A = this chain, B = another copy of it.
Amino acid sequence: MKLQTISCPGEFGLINLIKKTFSNITKDKNIIVDIGDDCFCFKSGKDYIYITKDMLVEDVHFKTSWTSPYELGKKAIEVNISDLAAMGSVIPKYIFIGLGAPANTPEDFVKNLLKGIQQACNKYNIALSGGDTVKADKIIISVTALGISKNKPITRTGAQIGDLIGVTNCFGDSGAGVYLLNKYGIKHKYTKHERALIKAQNSPIARLNEACNLSHYLTSLIDASDGLFVSLNLLIQGFSKGANINIEQVPISKNLKAVFNNNQQILKFALFGAEDYQLVFTVPKLKEKIVKKLVPSITYIGKITTGTKVKYFYNGKKQKIKYCGFKHF
């Protein structure tokens, strides 16, 4: 008899198992957004309180040979702020850190990690508010972030048929950065453009300003932590709607174009490369122009349709695209 392991249901199967186990335990009327979105949200008096939790594990999410402890500290905060931004206009307030580390971790590593965390906390005016330290075989950084807002959340599920699908900035840089690091290592003599791609991987920036500026106009919102392809699937999940995406409109950076000249490869990074931490959102057609005016760096890449699938088109021609990104289990 073959023993079934968690690599079989996979990460999303595992998350579904968790959701199934825990559905309907409590009926708490203050819960506004339950498990399954970028953040959990509950109402406290007049405030909406947002909480997210992300865990970074050495050799899964980062390699200490690729990322400096300072960059790692900053990144641990930015990726959690990205989850808060994915709920709309949220003010980050408090951060809780769980740090696992082997006993032989150099003290300087921890000091520089803390400096990176501090730098990001200063940037967002967040207070480090708690956490604990434990011995572990590898570096583990578990971050819980709490944000507060007077505004209702923008969930993943609010898109209406006919809404435009927009994204912030560019896609694929971070995934291409990982590709380069995997292929050549950190000590390779990289070009300016290549270094920019590696920086996108090591020093991502949460799109909180964009989320705050746009939130009033958005019908749904998600961050692209697991890649654009996954985010688009999540935006239509569980509802009778689909999406048409014009792949040629997906914004690609000058750096990515400068380093790779194979269009297929570039699009693979853009669709499946994770950790770009851009926002993916929907906007009613009537708000198309005001949104673009408010944040000129956004790009519309498609629209919400009837149906139940995300369909991809390249210059009008339908494309068959299958998931080929990273799987946790």
Interface residues of A (CB under 8 A from B): 3-9, 11, 14-15, 17-18, 21-22, 25-26, 28, 31, 34-35, 39-40, 42, 44-47, 49, 51-55, 57, 60-61, 93-94, 96-101, 103-108, 110-111, 114-115, 117-118, 121-122, 125-138, 140, 142, 144, 146, 148, 328-329
Contacts and interface: CB of A to CB of B under 8 A. Distances in A.
Given A105-B6, A106-B3, A107-B5, A53 B130 contact: yes
A54 B53 CA distance: 13
A142 to B, nearest CB: 4
Most buried by B among A35, A130, A148: A130
Contacts of A148: 44
Contacts of A104: 5, 7
Given A47-B44, A98-B55, A127-B28, A138 B136 contact: yes
Contacts of A47: 44-45
A312 to B, nearest CB: 28
Given A51-B130, A134-B61, A328-B133, A21 B118 contact: yes
Contact of A55 (B7, B8, B132): B132
Contacts of A35: 128-131
A95 to B, nearest CB: 9
Given A15-B133, A18-B131, A129-B31, A51 B96 contact: yes
A65 B133 CA distance: 24
A134 B101 contact: no
